Amino acid sequence: MSTVALIPAAGRGERLGMGLPKAFVDLAGQSMLHHCVQGVLSSGVVDRVVISVPVDLVDQVRSEFPESTVVAGGSNRSDSVKAALLAAPSDSEVVLVHDAARCLTPASLFADVVDAVRSGASAVVPALPVVDTIKSVDPTGIVTGTVDRASLRAVQTPQGFDYSVLKAAYAAAATDFTDDAGLIESQGIDVQTIPGDPMAFKITTAWDLNLATWLLTDRAHA
């Protein structure tokens, strides 16, 4: 069963504030994208990788990853995923969509997601329970309520899909979603959760980047 991994890496990364697209920020001597592609390939469960990047970086990334397909991303994440999906082999059976910013994701999580899709789920997301108490607030910051966290989950990537289900969902999509499972849910298709992994955290802020650097370097020498 052939599996393709789509890596949306075309975000501008403004919240990280490093002055260059997030996936190209250095993390312990390599770009986040490099760590991410290494992680995907070392999982051993992916046959093909398609990366979407800012249009001005397509040539550079093609020469860095000659074994991968590299396409120009769009102005939002959904457009970047859609561009990668259009470039995926049409005989793919399982699709993983994996944020470049979750570049420390362990190999076992890729395998678990692929296994769940192969076992019959149309859409699979790794998810972690929410540990903090969650409050809703009004525009002035006054708390308006406490949300019951028991049924809440923080979802990660890789998210896994039956190729034909994701392809049809994107063909019918009329709006943007912050993750691909959201698109699938909006079309009334069940999304299965499996246990996530703390190491699949998304690097969004300078704090996250410091944590990832520590996990890759200082910790290894401790």
Residue 77 beta carbon to ligand C5P: minimum distance, rounded to whole angstroms: 4
The residue (of 40 and 100) whose beta carbon lies closer to ligand C5P is 100
CA-wise closest residue to 40 among 114, 84, 103, 112: 103
Assess 204 for contact with ligand C5P (CB under 6 A).
yes
Region 51-110 residues binding ligand C5P, contact defined as CB under 6 A:
52, 73-77, 80, 99-101
What residue ranges in the chain does DSSP mark as E strands? 3-8, 26-27, 30-31, 48-53, 69-72, 94-97, 123-129, 134-137, 143-147, 153-155, 159-162, 192-195
Contact positions with ligand C5P (CB under 6 A) in 23-42: 23
Smallest distance from ligand C5P to CB 47, Å: 21
Distance spanning both ends of the chain, measured CA to CA:
41
> At closest approach, how far in Å is the CB of 10 from ligand C5P?
3
| Window 170 to 199, contacts with ligand C5P (CB under 6 A) | none
Positions in the binding site for ligand C5P (CB under 6 A)? 8-11, 22-23, 52, 73-77, 80, 99-101, 202, 204
